[in-house]
Structure 1
Amino acid sequence: MNVGILTGGGDCPGLNAVIRAVVRKAEKRYGTTVFGFHDGWKGILDERYEELTIERMRGTLPRGGTILGTTRDHPYMFEGGTETVTRVCSELGIDSVIVVGGEGTLSCALRLQNDGILNVIGVPKTIDNDISATEMTFGFSTAVDIATEAIDRLHTTAESHDRIMIAEVMGRHVGHIAAWAGMAGGATIVLIPEGKFNIGSVAESLIRRHNAGRWASVVVVAEGALPEEGTMALS
């Protein structure tokens, strides 16, 4: 039995550590061959892959990104894509593919599994921490640390110039990074996608703070945060 592994979607810290762990366990414990597909699902579709060994993985643990590369393409985007997946995996003797990805990559993996095309093992990877059935996705902790550090730095600039600083962070559908980093960094206001905000209420809160002698404020906004309808004009 052989296994495949691929990384899809955006990169994040920890990808190479996952690949390394899979290869070491497969080779040392089970004597299994691991094929790494390059650039996500495209590696299967274009038949670009390499055999991964413990020797190949040496020195990759502290490296960022992914040694396999990544894209957002998937088999259902191309005519005959699923048939290619079946053929390539059959020719390589692959019983299952370990899919390391976020919402889009794992959605495709689940669809392939449900359609009876491929056995998959999903590894939740996303800095947004927006995948169910896991408490915390890898990449999220590092994102929060970096965002918190940025917010900490904004405080000094805001206080030096008596300004309101706005920090936008990742988070299309959920506001975990904004909420965690905002609390850790002592943000004045945090706006997240889970609840629409009223720009008037936000302004009033900042004005009250200003009138109380707190001239500097830091507002953290998740990229997916939206205003209540009719409260703010969007271009």
Structure 2
Amino acid sequence: MRIGLLTGGGDCPGLNAVIRAVVRKGIDRYGHAIVGFRDGWRGPLENAYQELTIESTRGILPRGGTILGSSRTNPLKDEGGAARIEENMRTLHLDGLIAIGGEDTLGVASRLYDGGLPVMGVPKTIDNDIGATDMTFGFDTAVQVATDAIDRLHTTAESHHRILVVEVMGRHAGWIALHAGLAGGADVILIPERPFDIDEVCRLLRRRHSRGRYFSIVVVAEG
């Protein structure tokens, strides 16, 4: 079989590890040929690709980013985009396509699958906001980095008697804010899933101040 592979959306830790795993397992275990599309959905849309081999993916495991490049191209916004992808897959004699991405990338994959194309998705997003999976790769590293930042800010906030607001990623989901805020000892955590009253937040911070704690850390998800 010939299998296509692409990475879409924002980059995150683990993309090259998934590419390497697909190539090694596909070639070593099943004897498949793997075709890597460049720059997300732009690759199959414009037929920009490269053959992936064990040799070409050697040494990429510890590297950040993605060797295939990425973009936020949405082929469904182009007239005839889905048909062009189908035609290019046929030209390359592909039996299937693996899309590695988050909400937007996998949304396109789902639509193409519903249209009859053999497409499957690998959930990638630091926001951890993809359904049907407990944890997406990239999320754990994002939490570690955010927790480290929050932890380092405690002494600065305390030294200057400040209230520091830390904004983290999380467009529709507050997983990073929740996990990193708890791990980093934040005093207030604000997430999209839980509506909040800013006056109540201020009251909580003033109460903390009245108890002799003259600094606070507030973690806010971007959504």
- Give the TM-score, by structure 2 length: 0.99
* Deviation digits for residues 176-210 of structure 1 (CA, Å, limit 9, x no counterpart): 00000000000000000001110100001000100
SS in 1 for 2:95: strand
Is 1:26 aligned to residue 26 of structure 2? yes
SS in 2 for 1:97: strand
**Aligned sequence identity (%):** 62
Unaligned runs of 5+ in 2: none
Kindly indicate whether residue 12 of structure 2 is the aligned counterpart of residue 2 of structure 1: no
Q: State the match for 2:222 in structure 1.
A: 223
- Per the alignment, in what secondary structure is the counterpart of residue 100 of structure 1? strand
Q: Matched residue pairs, number?
A: 223
In structure 1, the partner of 2:17 is 17
User: Aligned equivalents of 1:97 and 1:106: distance in 2?
Assistant: 12
**For residues 61 and 202 of structure 2, what CA distance do their matches in structure 1 show?**
46
2:136 corresponds in structure 1 to: 137
Q: CA deviation at 1:74?
A: 2.1
**Counterpart-to-counterpart distance in 1, 2:199 and 2:75:** 46
Alignment of 1:171-210 (within 5 A): 171-210=170-209
Alignment of 1:59-74 (within 5 A): 59-74=59-74
1:135-192 CA distance string (max 9 Å, x none): 1000000000000000001101001111111000000111000000000000000000
Shift of 1:45: 1.2
Divergent runs of 4+, >3 A: none
* Residues 1:99 and 2:114 aligned together: no
Q: How does 1:123-162 map to 2 (within 5 A)?
A: 123-162=122-161
How far apart, CA to CA, are the structure 2 residues paired with 1:46 and 1:110? 20
Shift of 1:8: 0.5
Take 1:77 and 1:38, find their aligned partners in 2: how far apart are those partners? 19
In structure 1, C-alpha distance between the alignment counterparts of 2:163 and 2:30, rounded to whole Å: 57
> What one-letter code is carried by the residue in structure 2 that aligns with 1:123?
V
Measured in 1, the distance between the counterparts of 2:131 and 2:79 equals 30
- Report what 1:168 is aligned to: 167
Q: How does 1:73-92 map to 2 (within 5 A)?
A: 73-92=73-92
Specify the code of the residue in structure 1 equivalent to 2:79: E
Could you tell me how far apart the structure 2 residues matched to 1:68 and 1:222 are? 29
What is the RMSD of the two structures over their aligned residues, measured on CA atoms? 0.6
Partner of 1:211: 210
5+ residue gaps, structure 1, are 225-235
Give the Cα separation in 1 of the matches to 2:101 and 2:153. 32
Query: 1:185 and 1:51 mapped to 2: Cα distance?
Result: 44
Q: Offset at 1:79?
A: 1.6
Q: How far did residue 81 of structure 1 move?
A: 1.1
Say if 2:36 is the partner of 1:36: yes
* Alpha-carbon distance in 2 for matches of 1:172, 1:46: 30
Mapped pair 1:47 → 2:40 = no
TM superposition score normalised by structure 1:
0.94
DSSP 3-state at the match of 1:27 = helix
- Aligned mates of 2:198, 2:149 — CA distance in 1: 24
| Structure 1 residue 98: Cα displacement | 0.5
